[in-house]
Structure 1
């Protein structure tokens, strides 16, 4: 590699590239159509999540623990989408597939930070539903704005620390054979696999992060819903059970569209040894579809938000008194 700079130590030489080449979708047939799809996905994601953010921010009736968490989820969706799709569109529009070493690490940090925030936010929403259904009389004492803000702040701090540690361990890797990343962004796995020195700690960290932010949250959510269904069985009337269950529909849909694609992608990559192009397509879909659908699901399945949107459109479409007088 012609563009490598070496930093020599007593017994070891760590070689860092000046830049990486992100292969992305370059080897995929008809990739231009996929880029068009990504552009539409980006537009819907930014508009949808921005609308959710504005509604929650300016409507005082939504300043409650549940919607503070939804606000946090929308922020994570916008952050992850902005960390991923604009760089991919730059590759398509300007044929620019190079990224500097430091920019690559920054890109890796933000993609994984916002993705892990999505995962943990879904756990907090499961906690909210669990307390609301299993401990309804104590809900407002346990789940309030102060406690939720504290949980979310701790989650941001913890996730930032874990992802920063994972990214910092990349700096101990020496790249002396190739600087071509077989992915559409500076993905952790494809980057550490380029190492020509020992990368066992990076491999362990990758597995640990996957377990921590995919397996553990999903297990906690499943356990919380086992508790919810047990509590629902104690409710005597079907109408009351159905009413309580309806409050979980939005969250269950969010869990499904986030964890199912992610789980299928990682399981398929592990069991089937997916080709690089297949891995690029599956992971990019898993990372981009969920942020796009989250606001749509909440708008369509949340009565409070639908009522507010209805009122807004009615106020805009209703003729003013001056016009009626004329």
Structure 2
């Protein structure tokens, strides 16, 4: 049969595949996780913005991560919740909504890498060049780094999604829990060679620059700590860097699992679950890791709770 372009703008979105008896537990679990992500991340941003003592580059840069985590969770989880109870054949989504969700999902994933890169730079300056830290990490520099992280991610994703939107469509079923770039170009019967080339380049550049900068930064930090006999410096460096590395490793492993599972078509259900976990697990853990690990933030949280319970 000759392929033909569909003019309809309604797609069927596979969503999260669960049995009818598991729908309610899955809904409650996802809803609780979403509430936790939003409260912990937005709460941390509010705490940092309200407490002048936390108006330091490290905490201000972390606000980027919390905002991005809340944004990423909102991109994916509410749609998954709304599609849990209808049967798969009734899970409709407008094409434009699918494009927006795909854009937001990739923008969130890309910004995670770029934000972690600027946070690594901040740690490098603080530990390897402490005497010039205040002169280098000014408010202007914090704003410039934050804007560069978001702008770079935005430009890369605009091209990525734009290459998929230009294609005509001959299919209308999205075989994925949510819309992403691969879902969009798989709706077409045209050649997607250009999409695959750019997608590969996009992944290599993003992961390569992310891994390279973080590895180089922490190697230099390790050299400084090993050559320094200042135990206080080493302890502080270990605490802040371990926190940042923990966040990075969780995010990186989650992303790599999805890429690896793409190579095994028979594990498609596992890949779909991993793609959901990528947008759920790191956002749920990041605020906890930073909020409880960093002493200054932990102390402010304790003071707030004791003040509220005491009043």
Instruction: State TM-score, norm by structure 2.
Output: 0.91
**1:64 touches 1:144 (CA, 8 Å); kept in 2?**
no
**1:175 touches 1:194 (CA, 8 Å); kept in 2?**
yes
CA 1:16–1:257 in structure 2 vs 1: closer, same or farther (change >3 Å)? farther
Shift of 1:16: 5.2
Q: CA RMSD in A?
A: 2.2
Report how many residues are paired: 307
Partner of residue 18, structure 1: 9
**2:261 touches 2:267 (CA, 8 Å); kept in 1?**
no
CA 1:254–1:121 in structure 2 vs 1: closer, same or farther (change >3 Å)? same
* Structure 2 residue ranges without an equivalent (≥5): none
Query: Deviation per CA, 1:221-248, whole angstroms, max 9, x where unpaired?
Result: 1111111111111102455423321221
**2:262 touches 2:268 (CA, 8 Å); kept in 1?**
no
**2:114 touches 2:150 (CA, 8 Å); kept in 1?**
no
Residue from 150, 161, 180 that aligns with 1:156: 150
Residue 21 of structure 1 aligns to a residue whose secondary structure is strand
Moved more, 24-33 or 155-164: 24-33
Q: Distance in 2 between matches of 1:223 and 1:35?
A: 42
Query: Deviation per CA, 1:52-71, whole angstroms, max 9, x where unpaired?
Result: 01101111111221111111
Q: Are 1:209 and 2:202 counterparts?
A: yes
Moved more, 22-31 or 131-140: 22-31
Q: Are 1:46 and 2:38 counterparts?
A: yes
Residue 93 of structure 2 aligns to a residue whose secondary structure is strand
Query: Deviation per CA, 1:228-271, whole angstroms, max 9, x where unpaired?
Result: 1111111024554233212212111111111111112212323x
Q: Are 1:88 and 2:88 counterparts?
A: no
Q: Are 1:280 and 2:272 counterparts?
A: yes
Q: Distance in 1 between matches of 2:230 and 2:165?
A: 60
Q: Distance in 2 between matches of 1:238 and 1:59?
A: 29
**2:99 touches 2:184 (CA, 8 Å); kept in 1?**
no
**1:72 touches 1:121 (CA, 8 Å); kept in 2?**
yes
Partner of residue 260, structure 2: 267
Q: Distance in 1 between matches of 2:254 and 2:55?
A: 31
Partner of residue 171, structure 1: 165
CA 1:134–1:85 in structure 2 vs 1: closer, same or farther (change >3 Å)? same
Partner of residue 310, structure 2: 318
Partner of residue 67, structure 2: 75
Query: Deviation per CA, 1:148-187, whole angstroms, max 9, x where unpaired?
Result: 11111122222222211211111222222x2211111111
Partner of residue 212, structure 2: 219
* Structure 1 residue ranges without an equivalent (≥5): 7-14, 320-326
Instruction: State TM-score, norm by structure 1.
Output: 0.87
Shift of 1:214: 2.8
Residue 248 of structure 1 aligns to a residue whose secondary structure is helix
